[in-house]
């Protein structure tokens, strides 16, 4: 363990020195660098990240959809030292080989972004708080409303495709604990909320003010599931805005 840490520190030191003198951006990769990078990627990364780089949930290193933007130097460092306390291992590559992998990935991302949309999590966060008005129903890290599910760690629970679908087709797949229910009391009053439980005699809802409401079935004229109160954003947000929001949501992983 000690030797490992020591080696990592040595590599890091060497790296800092390397980048201090030759910033990566200033280097020009040759075609053979890119080919070597591709070979190394296939040999050392594809077994976990997949040949297209999208096999680890929430990370698409084939398209540059990382949890947070990384500079080339940070990418090289990640490859060399791994990410502590996660399955992402340190590799045995030299810093030069790691830079070739990064050059290969960057070239791939550039060629893909010319044809497909790449999300920007920072823009997505702004949309979440402004135009999307998502915080009026959702909470992230304690801020926002509890009407809809808490999204603080939604990126760890859903794939990008699932998130995209939640935004464009909210009723397609609703988690059982998020189903909405409406009761109509005998006096005509209606209450809507997330259904917590119901049995032969009673119904429990969490209403829009996050209050637990209990009803006796004898007092109800009607009770039924209703569609999700979440609007579809399929037409109100552009494709780019949706992609940005999905990037942001994917980045929400830890409390």
- Of 107 and 201, the one with the shorter C-beta distance to ligand HEC is 107
Alpha-helical segments (H) within 135-255: 154-157, 160-168, 239-250
Q: How far is CA 162 from the centre of its chain?
A: 10
Question: In this chain, which stretch among 13-21, 23-31, 141-149, 215-223 interacts with ligand HEC, using CB under 6 A?
Answer: 141-149
**Closest separation between CB of residue 141 and ligand HEC, Å?**
15
The 3 state secondary structure assigned to 28-88 is CCCHHHHHHHHHHHHHHCHHHHCCCCCCECCEECCCCECCCCCCHHHHHHHHHHCCCCCCC
Find out whether 62 and 53 touch, Cβ atoms under 8 Å.
Answer: yes
Question: Residue for token digits 């810093």?
Answer: 95
- Residue from 10, 83, 143, 214 touching ligand HEC (CB under 6 A): that is 83
Binding flag, residue 61, ligand HEC (CB under 6 A) = yes
Binding flag, residue 122, ligand HEC (CB under 6 A) = no
Residue 226 forms beta bridges with which residues? 180
Cα 194 to Cα 46: distance, rounded to the nearest angstrom:
42
How far lies 101's CA from each of 7, 45, 168, 224, in Å?
A: 21, 10, 36, 55
Question: In this chain, which stretch among 23-31, 61-69, 195-203, 209-217 interacts with ligand HEC, using CB under 6 A?
Answer: 61-69
The length of the chain, given as a count of residues: 255
Over its C-alpha atoms, the chain yields an Rg (Å, rounded) of: 24
**Closest separation between CB of residue 249 and ligand HEC, Å?**
6
Cα 165 to Cα 146: distance, rounded to the nearest angstrom:
21
Per rule CB under 6 A, count of chain residues that contact ligand HEC: 45
- Of 131 and 221, the one with the shorter C-beta distance to ligand HEC is 131
- Residue from 5, 47, 186, 190 touching ligand HEC (CB under 6 A): that is 47
- Of 217 and 225, the one with the shorter C-beta distance to ligand HEC is 225
x/- binding map, residues 147-186, to ligand HEC, per CB under 6 A? xxx----x---x----x--xx--x---xx--x--------
Binding positions for ligand HEC, 203-232, rule CB under 6 A: 228-230
**Closest separation between CB of residue 146 and ligand HEC, Å?**
10
Which residues form the interface with ligand HEC (CB under 6 A)? 44-45, 47-49, 56, 59, 61, 66-67, 75, 78-79, 83, 86-89, 91, 101, 128, 132-134, 136-138, 147-149, 154, 158, 163, 166-167, 170, 174-175, 178, 228-230, 233, 245, 249
């Amino acid at each position: 363990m000690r030797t490992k840490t020591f080696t990592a520190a040595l590599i890091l030191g060497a790296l800092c020195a390397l980048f201090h003198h030759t910033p990566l951006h200033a280097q020009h990769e040759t075609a053979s660098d890119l080919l070597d990078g591709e070979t190394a990627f296939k040999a050392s990364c594809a077994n976990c990240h997949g040949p297209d780089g999208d096999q680890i949930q929430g990370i698409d290193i084939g398209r540059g959809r990382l949890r947070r933007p990384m500079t080339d130097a940070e990418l090289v460092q990640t490859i060399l030292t791994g990410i502590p306390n996660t399955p992402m291992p340190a590799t045995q590559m030299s810093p030069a080989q790691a830079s070739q992998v990064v050059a290969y990935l960057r070239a791939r991302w550039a060629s893909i972004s010319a044809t497909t949309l790449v999300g920007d999590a920072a823009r997505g966060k702004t949309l979440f708080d402004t135009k999307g008005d998502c915080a009026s129903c959702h909470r992230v890290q304690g801020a926002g409303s509890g009407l809809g599910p808490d999204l603080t760690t939604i990126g760890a629970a859903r794939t990008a495709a699932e998130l995209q679908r939640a935004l464009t087709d909210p009723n397609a797949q609703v988690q059982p604990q998020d189903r909405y229910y409406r009761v109509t009391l005998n006096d005509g009053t209606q209450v809507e909320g997330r259904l917590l439980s119901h049995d032969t005699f009673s119904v429990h809802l969490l209403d829009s003010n996050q209050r637990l409401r209990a009803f006796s079935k004898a007092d109800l004229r009607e009770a039924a599931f209703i569609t999700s109160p979440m609007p579809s954003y399929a037409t109100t947000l552009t494709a780019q805005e949706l992609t940005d929001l999905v990037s942001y949501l994917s980045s929400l992983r830890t409390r």
